[in-house]
Structure 1
Amino acid sequence: MSPLSQLHVFNAMHASPHARLEHSAQLGDGLAAALWSNRDDARDYQAPSHHTLSCYIADGTGTFRRQRPSAKGAPDKLCIMPAGHESNWVVNGAIRLAHLYIDEAQFALGCIRLLDREPREMQLREATFLEDPQQARRFRELIALEWAEPGERLLASSLAHAIVDHAVLSQAGLRQGLRLKGGLAPSLRRQLVDYIEAHLDQPITLGDLALRCNLSEYHFARMFRTSFGLPPHQYLLARRLQRACQLLRVGELPLVQVALLCGFASASHFSNRFRQSLGATPGDYRAAFRH
């Protein structure tokens, strides 16, 4: 994910003379979080390139969208601001709220993994003052963690993934009137997903995947990105890392065995890729969940 300073919603809040940033952190995997307090303010969000989920932690009863003044916020209310949306907000009185920022690639992975849909078919539905006790509880657990402490940041990352998965399952819907052009046929896309999942522990090349679709590597790579929302190598790496996270959370396998089961050539290669994605080593990740 882009640095927090490059995220539109984060920047819009940070530019307010009344808003105070209490905590913020990059959580890896295209996710970032921030905890804000604000009062007596007005904020406009214009077509951000990322999705934002927010949860009101305290106060907020004087907060409303300028176009909908009759609907007011309250503690545990949630808002969903999809990428590309526009909204204008008025804050009368005080508010404390948590933000979770999600990049498009992470949303794309959720559409494929959880919904078996092409990401371009789907959109995250905008919602204002949604009631969802399960999500509100996750947000409260998230802000209770110390994000500056590496182990707790890893736990925060796991919670953030749970929040995103829930949002994809409950708030993503088909785009209306969309006519898809290009990309892979749905049956081919599903075959590729199944093939990759079944062979994560083995070398998988672009040529292997292209051959299964009877396409040249060049055309396959373009069509894969159209249908999956990210390039083949990024999708494959994301799936391998997610499998590794599952194994590290629940098992006691040696790290070198986890690396091999997830298709990494060596423990060092696995550790480097894991650190680049999550900001910690596989050993740190396992230790965080043990504690």
Structure 2
Amino acid sequence: MSSLDQIQVFQSLNSSPHAQLEQSASLGDGVVAALWNNRHDAQDYHGPSHHTLSCYIGGGTETYRRDRPDLKGAPDKICVLPAGHQSSWVVNGDIRLAHLYISPEQFALNCLTLLDREPREMVLQENTFIDDPQQAQRFHRLIRLNWNEPGERLQTSTLAHELLDHMMLNQVGLRDGLRLKGGLAPHVRRRLVEFIETNLAEPLSLGQLAAMCALSEYHFARMFRESFGFPPHQYLLARRMNRARQLLRTTRLPFGDIALDCGFASASHFSNTFKQAMGATPRAYRLAFQS
């Protein structure tokens, strides 16, 4: 699902004169995110080939499905729209909503690796206006991130997988998640450390790292934290900051070059992230060591 042209729900909204796209991006691993504003609109979805998980970020109190006019939306309501479904919507007033579009291939992979089930036996259940504070909180965290910043790719893809995993576990009745113990084997940890160190400049995704260990993203994230003491995205950021400090102390490279070498798309984003992590800008850090 690399092209937005293939995502029917996205294209339906994008063709509406009432809907406005705030941002969209591929988060890797067969997942695309979009953030929309819409008002006084009507939308019909006819058998899309992808799954859609949505959250009402704001408004939506007069939004309803034509087949259920008595059931209205509200902020933080969650909707699950499986591939192949049919639905018609009326949007009265204003609404701001976030979408995750999930490829059937990624859904099938999660059936196998997360649930150990045959994908043909798993049919995602349609659900409208769910109250799920955990999912709503994840969506709010996701929209605060810069989806197009390579330096945040692991964090955005991790949140996307948390949303997908929670949706699937909830459907099969595992609302508290799977019970896991133990971490990664020593040889797996060594391979991961080496891979991360040699790819700090790349926009790594959670699925990419999990695949190296032959694990689902859900299992990998929890076993990684058990092994390293940090979630994968925090570990990656720490290693990027370590490289940045080394380059600032020992080279005269421009800040833009250091940003690229540490996985950031721009010097400004690198500078802001470095200051948040280290308490000083890259310029101030370099000057302190020069003096």
Same fold flag (TM > 0.5): yes
Corresponding position of 1:17: 17
Corresponding position of 2:152: 152
- Three-state SS of the structure 2 residue aligned to 1:146 is coil
Corresponding position of 1:129: 129
Corresponding position of 1:239: 211
> How many Å apart are 1:150 and its aligned residue?
1.5
Corresponding position of 2:56: 56
Corresponding position of 2:286: none
- Three-state SS of the structure 2 residue aligned to 1:136 is helix
Q: Residue type matched to 1:24 in 2? A: S
> How many Å apart are 1:114 and its aligned residue?
2.2
Q: Structure 1 pair 236/29, CA: closer, same or farther in 2 (3 Å)?
A: closer
> How many Å apart are 1:149 and its aligned residue?
1.7
Superposition TM-score, scaled by structure 2 size: 0.63
Q: Contact (CA 8 Å) 1:122, 1:172: kept in 2 or not? A: no
Q: Contact (CA 8 Å) 2:12, 2:45: kept in 1 or not? A: yes
Q: Contact (CA 8 Å) 2:81, 2:127: kept in 1 or not? A: yes
Corresponding position of 2:45: 45
Q: Structure 1 pair 91/172, CA: closer, same or farther in 2 (3 Å)?
A: farther
Runs of 4+ in 1 over 3 A off after TM superposition: 235-238, 241-252, 281-285
Corresponding position of 1:66: 66
Corresponding position of 2:200: none
What is the CA deviation profile of residues 256-281 of structure 1, one whole-angstrom value per residue up to 9, with x for unaligned ones?
Answer: xxxxxxxxxxxxxxxxxxxxxxxxx9
- Three-state SS of the structure 2 residue aligned to 1:99 is strand
State how far apart, in whole Å, the 2-side matches of 1:153 and 1:87 are: 32
- Three-state SS of the structure 1 residue aligned to 2:83 is coil
State how far apart, in whole Å, the 2-side matches of 1:20 and 1:237 are: 34
Corresponding position of 1:166: 166
2:110 is aligned with 1:110: yes
Q: Structure 1 pair 282/161, CA: closer, same or farther in 2 (3 Å)?
A: farther
Q: Structure 1 pair 132/236, CA: closer, same or farther in 2 (3 Å)?
A: closer
State how far apart, in whole Å, the 1-side matches of 2:72 and 2:26 are: 30
Q: Residue type matched to 2:31 in 1? A: L
Q: How many residues align?
A: 205
Q: Residue type matched to 1:64 in 2? A: Y
- Three-state SS of the structure 2 residue aligned to 1:87 is strand
State how far apart, in whole Å, the 1-side matches of 2:234 and 2:103 are: 27
- Three-state SS of the structure 2 residue aligned to 1:84 is coil
> How many Å apart are 1:116 and its aligned residue?
1.5
State how far apart, in whole Å, the 2-side matches of 1:28 and 1:124 are: 21
Q: Contact (CA 8 Å) 1:41, 1:90: kept in 2 or not? A: yes
Q: Structure 1 pair 250/36, CA: closer, same or farther in 2 (3 Å)?
A: closer
Q: Structure 1 pair 283/240, CA: closer, same or farther in 2 (3 Å)?
A: farther
Q: Structure 1 pair 237/133, CA: closer, same or farther in 2 (3 Å)?
A: closer
Long gaps (5+) in structure 2? 174-183, 189-206, 240-259, 265-269, 278-291
State, as a whole percentage, how many aligned pairs show the same letter: 57
Corresponding position of 2:257: none
Q: Contact (CA 8 Å) 1:124, 1:172: kept in 2 or not? A: no
- Three-state SS of the structure 1 residue aligned to 2:93 is strand
Q: Structure 1 pair 250/237, CA: closer, same or farther in 2 (3 Å)?
A: closer
**Structure 2 matches for 1:243-254, cutoff 5 A?**
246=224, 249=233
State how far apart, in whole Å, the 2-side matches of 1:159 and 1:112 are: 20
State how far apart, in whole Å, the 2-side matches of 1:53 and 1:239 are: 24
State how far apart, in whole Å, the 1-side matches of 2:140 and 2:162 are: 13
- Three-state SS of the structure 1 residue aligned to 2:129 is strand
Corresponding position of 2:83: 83
- Three-state SS of the structure 2 residue aligned to 1:128 is strand
> How many Å apart are 1:73 and its aligned residue?
0.1
2:72 is aligned with 1:100: no
